[in-house]
Structure 1
């Protein structure tokens, strides 16, 4: 039993790490895609491709889902919180505020997840987990502010970003409550909801602006956009969402939340290596603080678990 639990912790931690690495790498593809399309067009194509890709895998029998005899309500709640409400909050929040402001808001997600887990699941983090996540939060804030702090003073933008923080925390909690479903089943419903919601929004936007033909032809006429949506649809949606759902099922909300800052570090490294972006000393300091925070939140648990096994 203890061996299986240790394996679950290791696999869950690796899944959380892989998920955040995929999210961090999506930064360079998003930068390329937003030059050619609106955020809603990108989201629409991203989730449509992700949903179709996973549907093909299910049809070929490579992955399996079984919804018979299971209530869909828990899954629908998960899907409404993320991707639908979360990406609405993130997309419109970022577009109405500065990069530094949005980074500060979104850095609060691990703290919000801890609070939601305590209030709804009655699962309280250890002191060292709290300390580790707070250290990670400080690291993210240092990294974001090092890029240059500026203020938009956009109340609408702040409200959308707050929506993103709250709904991601609720998603984390309700994924853990949806224990009757496999990671693939949860991911499939999430992608279906995202495809429906964002394709409709993208079509409405294109209709209002008279750009319907441009929206439909985007993947054909723009190679960088095609590469971006393929990565985001298959990498950042199918694989990353599955890894996130698997991690939460194996190690819980609190430990999974402690890895969120890793995506910031990965995005910085990706920007330096592929986009030739500057990497300042304060950003390096912020990255080191993030790594220390993740280590603090997780190494304490490993020592405690090892002690229990030895006992």
Structure 2
């Protein structure tokens, strides 16, 4: 049991590190390439490697004949709504502002979980989330970040935060699916949706974004 807890904590920490790095890279590259092209490449690459993993492990993801409504709802919230709002919001705001907004995700997710799932957090969970939030905000603004007061950008980042929090709740509710099945469906949805969006945007702009 302890071994699984340690592995889970390490996996969660690695996930958050990669999330932070992706945020930094997104902020630096969206000024040079189309946001839709960037997102599509992320999901095309991820979907390729997850299928490569399935081939090497000779595993299958079987979802035929099952109720896909929970998976569809999850995919709409994240990656579709979340990544669109995150990318646009990051482009319209400064790194300090977007970083502070996205740092609120654990807090909003905790509130949503309490209201919808009736899963009340422990005192230490509240302290941990609050400490993380305060630390991130202090680190972001201590770096000398500026603001541009883009109300539209704030609103879009707010949508990103809410969509991710609701996604966390829906994942907990979709207990009939394994975590790998949920991840695979999310990657497939992101690859298809953002691939079509990026190609359409490229052709409408008179050139291929890819």
Q: TM-score, normalised by structure 2?
A: 0.90
Question: What does 1:1-311 correspond to in 2, within 5 Å?
Answer: 4=1, 6-26=2-22, 29-30=25-26, 33-34=29-30, 36-212=32-208, 215-216=209-210
Q: Is 1:100–1:144's contact at 8 Å kept on the other side of the alignment? A: yes
The DSSP-based 3-state class of the residue aligned with 1:153 is coil
Calculate the aligned-residue CA RMSD, in Å. 2.0
Q: RCO higher in 1 or 2 (8 Å CA, sep ≥ 6)? A: 1
Q: Is 1:113–1:170's contact at 8 Å kept on the other side of the alignment? A: yes
Q: Is 1:98–1:151's contact at 8 Å kept on the other side of the alignment? A: yes
Q: Residues 55 and 15 (structure 1 numbering): CA distance in 2 closer, same or farther, change over 3 Å? A: same
Q: Is 1:108–1:165's contact at 8 Å kept on the other side of the alignment? A: yes
Point out where structure 2 has 5 or more consecutive residues left out of the alignment.
none
> Partner of 1:309 in structure 2?
none
Q: Residues 19 and 86 (structure 1 numbering): CA distance in 2 closer, same or farther, change over 3 Å? A: same
Larger Rg: 1
CA distances 1:274-297 after superposition (whole Å, capped 9, x unpaired): xxxxxxxxxxxxxxxxxxxxxxxx
Q: Residues 204 and 69 (structure 1 numbering): CA distance in 2 closer, same or farther, change over 3 Å? A: closer
Point out where structure 1 has 5 or more consecutive residues left out of the alignment.
217-311
Q: TM-score, normalised by structure 1?
A: 0.62
Structure 2 Cα separation of the partners of residues 58 and 7 of structure 1:
25
Q: CA deviation at 1:61?
A: 4.3
Structure 2 Cα separation of the partners of residues 21 and 62 of structure 1:
29
Structure 2 Cα separation of the partners of residues 114 and 53 of structure 1:
31
Q: Residues 143 and 121 (structure 1 numbering): CA distance in 2 closer, same or farther, change over 3 Å? A: same
For these two proteins, the number of residue pairs brought into alignment is 210
CA distances 1:158-196 after superposition (whole Å, capped 9, x unpaired): 111001100110111111111111222111110111112
Structure 2 Cα separation of the partners of residues 32 and 55 of structure 1:
29
Q: CA deviation at 1:63?
A: 3.7
Structure 2 Cα separation of the partners of residues 46 and 199 of structure 1:
10
Q: Residues 15 and 211 (structure 1 numbering): CA distance in 2 closer, same or farther, change over 3 Å? A: same
Q: Is 2:27–2:95's contact at 8 Å kept on the other side of the alignment? A: no
Q: Residues 80 and 60 (structure 1 numbering): CA distance in 2 closer, same or farther, change over 3 Å? A: same
Q: CA deviation at 1:203?
A: 1.7
Q: Is 1:70–1:180's contact at 8 Å kept on the other side of the alignment? A: no
Structure 2 Cα separation of the partners of residues 135 and 67 of structure 1:
40
